[in-house]
Amino acid sequence: MSKNQEENNMMEKIVSLAKRRGFVFQSSEIYGGFASCYDYGPLGVELKNNIKREWWKAMVRQRDDVVGLDASILMHPKVWEASGHLESFTDPLVDCKDCKKRFRADHLLEAKGLEPGYLKEKPEAINEIKCPECSGQLTNPRTFNLLMKTFIGPVENEAAVTYLRGETCQGIYVNFENVKDSMRLKIPFGIAQVGKAFRNEITPGNFIFRMREFEQMEMQYFVNPKEAKKWFEYWKPLRLKWYQDLGVKKENLRLREHGQDELAHYAKEAWDIEYNYPFGGFKELAGIHNRGDWDLSRHSKFSGKDLSYTDPETKEKFMPYIIETSDGADRATLVFLLDAYEEIRGGRTTTTESSKEVEVVLRLDKRLAPIKIAILPLSKKPELEKVAKKIQENLWGTYMTMYDVTGSIGKRYRRQDEIGTPYCLTVDFESLEDKKVTIRDRDTMKQDRVAISEVLDYIDDKFKS
Judged by the rule CB under 6 A, the positions of this chain that interact with ligand GAP are 167, 169, 199, 201, 210-211, 214, 216, 218, 284-287, 324, 326-328, 330-331
CB 372 → ligand GAP: shortest distance, Å? 26
- The DSSP secondary-structure symbol of 85 reads H
Going across the sheet that includes 447-451, the strands are 401-403, 373-377, 423-427, 436-441, 447-451
Distances (CA, A) of 427 to 38, 392, 403: 37, 11, 11
3-state helix, strand, coil in the chain (%, to 5): 40, 25, 35
Strand 447-451 vs strand 436-441: parallel, antiparallel, or unpaired? antiparallel
| CB closer to ligand GAP, 185 vs 202 | 202
Residue 291, classed as helix, strand or coil, is coil
Of 196, 179, 208, 145, which Cα lies nearest the Cα of 15? Answer: 208
Alpha helices for 122-227 (secondary structure H) = 169-173, 176-182
Please give the single-letter amino acid code of residue 372.
Answer: K
| CB closer to ligand GAP, 214 vs 294 | 214
CB neighbourhood size of 5 (10 A): 9
| CB closer to ligand GAP, 293 vs 330 | 330
Give the residue nearest to ligand GAP (CB): 328
| CB closer to ligand GAP, 263 vs 456 | 263
CB 31 → ligand GAP: shortest distance, Å? 22
| CB closer to ligand GAP, 80 vs 413 | 80
| CB closer to ligand GAP, 50 vs 193 | 193
Beta strands in 301-412 (DSSP E): 309-310, 317-318, 321-328, 341-345, 358-362, 373-377, 401-403
Beta strands in 69-188 (DSSP E): 90-95, 102-104, 142-145, 148-151, 161-164
| CB closer to ligand GAP, 85 vs 436 | 85
CB 290 → ligand GAP: shortest distance, Å? 12
CB 262 → ligand GAP: shortest distance, Å? 10
| CB closer to ligand GAP, 39 vs 306 | 39
CB 117 → ligand GAP: shortest distance, Å? 17
CB 339 → ligand GAP: shortest distance, Å? 15
Of 377, 345, 369, which Cα lies nearest the Cα of 417? Answer: 369
| CB closer to ligand GAP, 141 vs 195 | 195
Please give the single-letter amino acid code of residue 75.
Answer: M
Q: Are 89 and 146 in contact (CB under 8 A)?
A: yes
Residue 216 falls in which region: left (phi positive, over 0), alpha (psi -120 to 50) or beta:
beta
| CB closer to ligand GAP, 114 vs 264 | 264
CB 344 → ligand GAP: shortest distance, Å? 30
CB 214 → ligand GAP: shortest distance, Å? 4
Q: How far apart are the first and last CA of the chain?
A: 41
CB 80 → ligand GAP: shortest distance, Å? 13
CB 144 → ligand GAP: shortest distance, Å? 14
